[in-house]
Amino acid sequence: MNPDIFADLNTLFDEQLSSDSALDDDPLAASPYFIGMMSGTSLDGMDAVLCEFFDDAAPVVIASHSLPFDTNLRDALLALTAPNGVVDYIKDNQLGFESELDVYGWASVYYANFAAQVVLELLAKANVDSDKVSAIGCHGQTVRHRPKWSFSLQLLDPNVLAERTGIAVVSDFRRRDMAVGGQGAPLVPAFHQAMFGTDSSVKAVLNLGGIANITVLDHDGIGTPMGFDTGVANLLMDAWVARHTGASYDKDGEMARSGVVIEPLLTLLLGHPFFEKLPPKSTGREEFHLAWLDEMLAKLNHDHPELRYSPADVQATLAELTAVSASRDIARFISSGTLIVCGGGALNTHLMTRLQTHLSMLNVINSQQYGVHPALIEGMAFAWLARQNILGRTGNVPAVTGADKAVVLGQVCF
């Protein structure tokens, strides 16, 4: 690994930033442009969207841009997101790391430099100057989410991102909610309500990232949504297909479609305690990871030594786990209407078919049918949350996170 890994990025920043820019003295009078950024539990890369806001209407996407993580960053993030996962990573790298904190500190700067590259390329694509953007909403990479201990760590150095782009950065969205008793997740239901809540036919939104979360729109009749994590979505499917084929994800669910669901394995997986929890609830890689899947496979082999199955059968079972767990929770709250699906999982045609099968009473559609690409929704949400922060408006929904009150989310690095 090259110790001068930032050299090429620094050249890019110097070329594209000829002079410093800053927010207007009055941020409330600033441009209607906001950037939202997201890298989720799938750890495949970073998405960014440039949004324009008109009063309190849903934002309009001006441009979007995505970049995959390079191997150096992805390996570090994978190590940090796995409990005690840095031990082997430290042995293999060439930078002389001595502890998990070394890796965390280095990766937070690397991640911020990478995020800045994404932003600058996005602005170049849109032909928009950085001084026209009010703020960047950057969630950072969740490397540890422990609501039971009231903390969540999002890896990002916002100082570097602000300096490299010349744009104010709003980050660290989760912890203010946790400070008032919430779980800090999910954070997108308020945006889902703002984005889709005006259409009475849309009853819920299902986001299928690494983890699946649901928003039930206008749950109590006064415009307040309800939402929670339903369990794993793409996280295990991506990890399994990578192990067996080297691909980063199961395109169109082809591997899963070619297999057969292993019913005893599905039963074991659905036995995870998280699925029995009542909302508010949130989860992540701490609970759903390959080591857990391997444990369940070992138990399956012990209990059913006669079973013969293929990697494709396991993939089919993982897809069914996502479909069944999400569908069960959705069916508890809505019995008719439209379910909008977003996130990377919305592009998995096999998974969408399985959801429609389990939710035959609903019209299960991809968010593209509402004019928004599924991969852009979360980025738009963090542009919206950044704007909420700059305007001094609350961003959490206490009924969703379990917080004692609604609060302004995020910290600003001007």
Indicate if the pLDDT at residue 15 is higher than 70: no
* Residue type, position 206, single letter: L
Which are the contacts of 335, defined by CB distance < 8 A and separation ≥ 6? 361
Which sign, positive or negative, has the C-alpha torsion 16, 21, 22, 28? negative
* pLDDT confidence bin for 248, thresholds 50/70/90: confident
pLDDT one-digit tens code per residue, 294-306: 999 999 999 999 9
What local confidence, expressed as pLDDT, does residue 10 receive? 54
Tell me which amino acid residue 402 is.
Answer: G
Quote the mean pLDDT of the chain: 91
Query: Has residue 162 got a pLDDT over 70?
Result: yes
Which amino acid does the sequence have at 302? H
Instruction: Say if residue 252's pLDDT is above 70.
Output: yes
What number is the average pLDDT over the span 167-189?
96
Sequence-ordered list of residues with C-beta below 8 angstroms from that of 138, at least 6 positions apart, any chain = 37, 115, 156, 158, 161, 169, 170, 171, 382
Q: Can you tell me the distance from the alpha carbon of 356 to that of 298, in angstroms, rounded to the nearest whole number?
A: 31
Give the residue-averaged pLDDT of 323-330.
Answer: 97
Considering only CA atoms, which of 127, 125, 122, 126 is closest in space to residue 165? Answer: 122
Tokens of 266: 């599905």
Percentage of the residues of the chain whose pLDDT score is greater than 90? 80
Arithmetic mean of pLDDT, 78-91: 86
Q: Whole-angstrom Cα distance, residue 342 to residue 139?
A: 18
Local structure of residue 262 (DSSP, 8 states): -
DSSP characters over 336-376: SSEEEEESGGGG-HHHHHHHHHHTTTSEEEEGGGGT--GGG
Span of 29-33, 289-293, 334-338, 392-396 with lowest mean pLDDT? 29-33
pLDDT tens for 335-371 read 999 999 999 999 999 999 999 999 999 999 999 998 8
Least confident of 20-29, 81-90, 228-237, 404-413: 20-29
Summarised one tens digit per residue, pLDDT across range 103-125 is 999 999 999 999 999 999 999 99
Residues near 135 by Cβ (< 8 Å), separated by ≥ 6?
A: 23, 27, 30, 34, 35, 167, 168, 169, 170, 386, 387, 389, 390, 412
Per-residue pLDDT band for 8 (boundaries 50, 70, 90) equals low
Q: In the predicted model, what is the mean pLDDT of residues 53-78?
A: 92
Q: Per residue in 273-316, pLDDT tens? A: 999 999 999 999 889 999 999 999 999 999 999 999 999 999 99
8 Å CB contact between 214 and 188: no
Query: How confident is residue 44, by pLDDT bands cut at 50, 70 and 90?
Result: confident
Residue 183: name the closest of 142, 219, 140 by CA: 142
- Reference 145, options 289, 325, 13; nearest CA is 289
Query: Crossing angle for the helix pair 189-196 and 377-390, nearest 10 degrees?
Result: 100
Q: Is the pLDDT of residue 11 over 60?
A: no
Does the pLDDT value for residue 19 go beyond 80?
Answer: no
CA dist 25 to 29, 51, 170, 309, 336, Å?
Answer: 8, 22, 17, 64, 49
- pLDDT at res. 23: 42
How far is residue 351's CA from residue 212's CA, in Å, rounded to a whole number? 12
Residue 211 and residue 236: Cα distance in Å, rounded?
9
User: With 50 as the cut, is the pLDDT of residue 20 above it?
Assistant: no
- pLDDT given at position 57: 78
